[in-house]
Amino acid sequence: MVSVPVVTWSPSVTLVPTHGCFNRCGYCSFRVDPDSAVPLSLEVAQRQLAQRPDAAEVLLLSGEEAPGSPRRGAWFDRLLQFSQLALAQGRLPHTNAGPLSAREMACLGRSNPSLGLMLEGLGPAYAPLHAHAPSKRLEVRLAQLEQAGRLGIPFTTGLLLGVGETRADRLDALVVLRDLQLRWGHLQEVILQPWRPDGTSAVALTAQEQGDLLELIAAARALLPPEVHLQTPPNLWPLEGLPAALAAGIDDLGGIDLADVINPAYPQPRVEALRAVVEASGRQLAPRTCVHRQWWPRLPHGLRRTVARVDQTLQQRWATAAC
Ligand code: SF4
């Protein structure tokens, strides 16, 4: 029997513990000054979760308090509190909150089946964008990816593409990720994320940009070990071009919420539309939790059982087309 290739996605809901961030990345329209930020309250978080009852993943996407800031402890406690809230509701937290100390990362790894941090990229094009973002220094990012590997935490990373980097820069970044994976085996996904301009309406990728990205996807598939899933955010990629991206090597569409808090001008496609396109390309769309099945054996015993329970509910819901 011929098996049908699977393309995965994760029904998710995003909580933003704070928009306050001590970095100032050149492309960011998400951050506010930490002194004027209003942290997300538990009550508002509960209301936001209630609006997405079928989301198995709770993405905690946060601005950052500086290491050593007197506010860092409270900031980290909120990440833990929201992670526990997700678990208490039978959902799984996945935190992406910038660089963490080894203690912080190990602590979050006990409640989060996976964590994430974009590598973003290598080469001079990123330097001016990150001139006022200490967290985005390459050595800091690489140390984080190494640290997650040492701790054995299933990890999502990725590249921000189309900021002026060269083809050679992109390939160098993929080689770095490949070597990390060969050393630690913890990279479950690499997101190939096209940078898109802000604004009130979406700016579609040009044919040239799509062509360059398709070449990169194919290069990533050839370079990275086969267990590493390749993801592109489907709201940043034209639906009619998705079959070409799948043919080049994309096999995951990431967490999909009702809206993208980073790129709010780029609406999420409806899951039914994604399913139709994926099936028309000879593949099968299937839901997943925030941690891909191959990495379950790495999880602490109790968390693994929780993941299995959440996954069972997710698959049952999908089978009855209720996602
Ligand atoms: S670290 Fe993230 S939230 Fe902070 S300024 Fe950079 S992109 Fe924005």
Average pLDDT, whole number, for the chain? 96
> Would you list the DSSP string of 206-222?
PHHHHHHHHHHHHHHHH
Q: CB of 261 within 8 A of CB of 56?
A: no
Which secondary-structure segment (H or E) carries 82? Answer: helix 72-88
Q: Residues 274, 285: contact at Cβ < 8 Å? A: yes
CA–CA distance, 29 with 47 (Å, rounded to integer): 24
Instruction: Give residue ranges with CB within 6 A of ligand 1.
Output: 21, 23-25, 28, 30-31, 63-64, 98, 133, 135
- CA distances to 109, 216, 254, 296 from 73, rounded to whole Å, are 17, 40, 30, 30
By most ligand atoms within 8 Å of CB, the mutation choice from 16, 19, 21 for ligand 1 is 21
Average of pLDDT values for 291-309? 97
- Asked if residue 165 is part of any domain, the answer here is yes
| Structure tokens given for 287 | 């839901």
Radius of gyration of the chain (CA): 19
Pocket test for ligand 1, best of 30, 61, 163 (most atoms within 8 A of CB): 30
Residue 301 corresponds to which amino acid?
A: H
- Rounded to an integer, the average pLDDT of 60-81 is 97
Kindly report the protein residue whose alpha carbon is nearest to atom 8 of ligand 1.
28
**CB–CB of 220/214 below 8 Å?**
no
- pLDDT in the model for residue 3: 87
Of 129, 243, 265, give the one whose Cα is nearest residue 196. 265
Task: Give the per-residue SS3 of 167-198.
Answer: HHHHHHHHHHHHHHHHHHCCEEEEEEEECCCC
Q: Is 1 within the bounds of a domain?
A: no
276 CA to middle of ligand 1, Å? 35
Token output for 172: 């160098």
- Report if residue 28 sits inside a domain: yes
Determine the pLDDT at residue 84.
98
Question: Do the strands 6-15 and 57-61 form a parallel or antiparallel pair, or are they unpaired?
Answer: parallel
Among protein residues, the one whose CA lies closest to atom 6 of ligand 1: 25
- What integer is the mean pLDDT of 289-316? 97
Ligand 1 midpoint to CA 323 (Å) = 31
The boundaries of the domain holding residue 234 are: 6-319
Residue 256 in 3-state DSSP? strand
Task: State residue 72 phi and psi, 5-degree precision.
Answer: -60, -40
Mean pLDDT of the 158-168 span: 97
Residue 322 has pLDDT above 50, yes or no: no
pLDDT at position 200 is 81
The DSSP output letter for 259 is S
Calpha distance 22→256 (Å, rounded):
27
CATH of the domain at 25: 3.20.20.70
Number of domains the chain contains: 1
Is-contact 21 31, C-beta < 8 A? yes
